[in-house]
Amino acid sequence: MTDEMLRAPAEVKYAEELDWLESIDDGPKPFSWRLSPRMVRLFVLGSERSDGLDREVAQKWFGDRSFVERSIVTLASDRGLLLIGDPGTGKSWLAELLSAAISRNSTLVVQGTAGTTEDHVKYSWNVSMVIAQGQSRASMIPSPIMTAMERGVIGRFEELTRSTSDVQDALISILSEKYVSIPELDEDGIVFAQPGFSIIATANSRDRGVNDLSSALKRRFNFVRVPVVTSKRSEAEIVRFRTTELMRRHRIELDLPPTLLDILLQSFADLRAAAASATSDDERLESALSTAEQIGVLEDAVLHSQFFGDRTLRARTLASSLVGSLARRSPEDLAILNKFWHGVVEPRGRKDEDGPWREFLDGGREAIAALS
């Protein structure tokens, strides 16, 4: 099944591992959870020797242990979980892993956009069936959230703060009364949530102020702030993990030279430091410089080398995809990158004659020149 999908959801991708974990799990499980909280943690954060398991469970989300613990515990409690953080910090991935581990279904997702309506959160009607048979449960189309309620599993709401306030507020009754009433139906007009239902929402902290959550809704969510990864080691781990996965998806066989990975991480670290010391938005790249952005840059470079290059990842390609992905505003971003290239990359390139930094320097210069 995995082979036929461009991107398999976590519960499909790790189905075998989840089955195995479920088979050995003897801990107490809340509600209808498929795994106990400790096993969920183990699934997300990977196993260690001291866990005494027969097989190794790979780490799938990289970050502080306490974030995962707090998230799992929140799902076991009465409240919804709101993962909040900068773009690209792995919020959605964590949400997917959690719902896959807890309810083996991570696809009950509502995507919050400016066009999301209350129908997307509650239910809508199949108009032709309503005309033919009248309003009934059969002619009703339940939303993913309602489906999650009925089944007692985890529902997800991506980018909660992108949707408008009235849509957000539709969640209040779902989260507090745990039922949705369907006034159109005379009988069977209430859908009650089964035990085990909860909601994982994600929100982008850069969107703050667009559609602020009402305090009533805030009260019904526990906030877990996911920070930008700053530890170089775990960031390298994440980038490698995700890129390998992406390459597998594209069926690309390509080596990721560790030096290039280092260059990429170092450049991002430098750019983040520059952004942190900048005083105005004009001196800051528009990009949040998140880990996801790095993965994007690397993926772009890999694809480029695969299809237009000599099937080897080169520093030159990496440089041009870095410039290409980060230069969003002209001239501000280009000016920052130009400054970065001359002030930071150039000394390194000079020191590292004939090395990858040199090539990176040249590639970046060409890309900047081509864009300006």
- Tell me the window of 63-71, 90-98, 262-270, 279-287 that interacts with other proteins (CB under 8 A): 63-71
Q: Which of 7, 137, 206, 219 binds other proteins (CB under 8 A)?
A: 219
Residues in contact with other proteins, counted by CB under 8 A, come to a total of 28
What DSSP designation does 344 have? I
Written as one string, the DSSP assignment of 9-55 is -HHHHTHHHHHHHHHH--S---TT-SS-HHHHHHHHH---GGG--SS
What DSSP designation does 193 have? P
Check binding of 342 to other proteins (CB under 8 A): no
Check binding of 178 to other proteins (CB under 8 A): no
Check binding of 72 to other proteins (CB under 8 A): yes
By beta-carbon proximity to other proteins, the closer residue of 185 and 228 is 228
Least distance (Å) between residue 61 CB and other proteins: 16
Locate the DSSP E strands across the chain. Answer: 80-85, 109-111, 123-125, 140-142, 154-158, 179-181, 190-192, 198-204, 221-226
- Tell me the window of 74-82, 146-154, 272-280, 320-328 that interacts with other proteins (CB under 8 A): 74-82
Check binding of 206 to other proteins (CB under 8 A): no
- Tell me the window of 95-103, 214-222, 302-310, 341-349 that interacts with other proteins (CB under 8 A): 214-222
Amino acid sitting at position 297: V
Tokens matching residue 269: 């670290």
Q: Which residues contact 156 (CB under 8 A, 6 or more apart)?
A: 95, 96, 99, 106, 108, 109, 110, 144, 199, 200, 201, 202
Least distance (Å) between residue 233 CB and other proteins: 12
- Tell me the window of 108-116, 219-227, 256-264, 331-339 that interacts with other proteins (CB under 8 A): 219-227
Residue of 254, 256, 245, 361 whose CA lies nearest to 292: 245
CB 61 within 8 A of CB 99: no
Binders in 114-133 for other proteins, by CB under 8 A: none
Check binding of 208 to other proteins (CB under 8 A): yes
* Contacting positions for other proteins (CB under 8 A): 37-38, 41, 48, 50, 65-66, 69-70, 72-74, 76-79, 84, 203, 205, 208, 213, 215, 218-219, 222-225
